[in-house]
Amino acid sequence: ASRPVADQDLWAQQADNRRKSVWLVAGFIVFFAWLGFGGDWVYYLYTQHLPATQYHHVVPWFGIVMTLVGVGLCRYAWHDGAGRVLWATGAQEVIDPVTDKEKVLVNVVEEMAIAASIPRPRVWIVPDPDPNAFATGNDPATASIAVTEGLLDTLDRDELQAVVAHEMAHVRNLDVRLMTLLAAIVGAVALMSQGAGRWLGFGGGGRGRDNEGKGAGPLGVVVLVLWIVSLILAPLVTRLLAMAVSRKREFLADATGAQLTRNPMALASALTKLDAATAPTRAITSGAAHLCIVDPAGSAINDREGAAADFLGSHPPTRVRIARLRGMGYQQMKREGVPLPDAGAGAA
């Protein structure tokens, strides 16, 4: 017997995320190897015509070291990436809920974990007044779900359940593995690029390397330029990759979350409230924006559609997500014989 369509989507999404996670790690290590061995090549070309009494760069120790650094950063991102993301937001884990809002949150997370047939993720609250939420971790067994204080203050129980179900969908689909790896790698690449920029002199405060490339010939100059351009563009490329990965997964998480709650209108209502909040989620850095249910910075590009928005935006337009969820809700009402609201009420 064939699986239902929803299960087919789940297995396909999990397989796709596993595959992309492997390629992401491999690409990251290859990038660091290029920085190392590319530097070795430039240095070799620069020193090969020097007198025999001077240093000749033969052993590619730059490449060996940088490849090991890439492997180490991937290992760090895999094992500690989720913890670093939570630490960066200042999130506090809810172990023994005390307030009514904490008790409702934990209860909702437990309900949705049962509905999704996965272990209950750890629950965190981010001290930020802007409503937002995200999930992180490597798999359902190590996952965490974090919500801001503003989210708890803004949403009612059904809406909170819908948002938690959306994040639970990311956990079940293994989106969290790929997106957490991306968050850790985006931060590592940005830090590496900034440090290299200061060393080379184009990041401010460093000494210029005016003599680099002299004596290496045209080929050495070309390789050096490509090497420097790679350092400059690496943070931008990784950020754009994270945005593209996130945007494609939000629609499926919306649909899966609506299936878990059987209440797509609740998620549509929650997204409407989140979209109306104008203040940025300051506790969440731009490098982790793709983890959130809505863009924490509120970038205008996320309100647009088309190829440019698909490439540059971290999230699909919220109004499109709301329209799709309302469409799901209307279809559900028709199947259940519930009277449909009029057009004016549906657009409110």
Q: Give me the sign of the Cα torsion angle 9, 15, 20, 21.
A: positive
Tokens standing for residue 293: 């249910």
Asked if 136 and 180 count as a contact pair (C-beta separation under 8 A), the reply is: yes
Measured CA to CA in angstroms, residue 167 lies from 134, 252, 257, 275 at distances of 6, 11, 8, 17
Enumerate the β-bridge partners of residue 142.
Answer: none
Residue 49 CB contacts under 8 Å (≥ 6 apart), including other chains: 215
Asked if 114 and 140 count as a contact pair (C-beta separation under 8 A), the reply is: no
Measured CA to CA in angstroms, residue 319 lies from 82, 148, 260, 272, 292 at distances of 30, 22, 21, 8, 16
Measured CA to CA in angstroms, residue 323 lies from 2, 17, 74 at distances of 30, 26, 38
What residue spans of 145-263 are helical by DSSP H? Answer: 149-154, 157-172, 175-200, 217-261
Q: Which of 159, 167, 212, 250 is catalytic?
A: 167
Asked if 137 and 79 count as a contact pair (C-beta separation under 8 A), the reply is: no
- Does the annotation mark 305 as catalytic? no
The three-class DSSP label of residue 134 is: strand
Q: DSSP assignment of 81-115, as one string?
A: HHHHHHHHHT-EE-SS--SHHHHHHHHHHHHHHHH
The three-class DSSP label of residue 285 is: coil
Q: Could you give the residue numbers annotated as active site?
A: 167
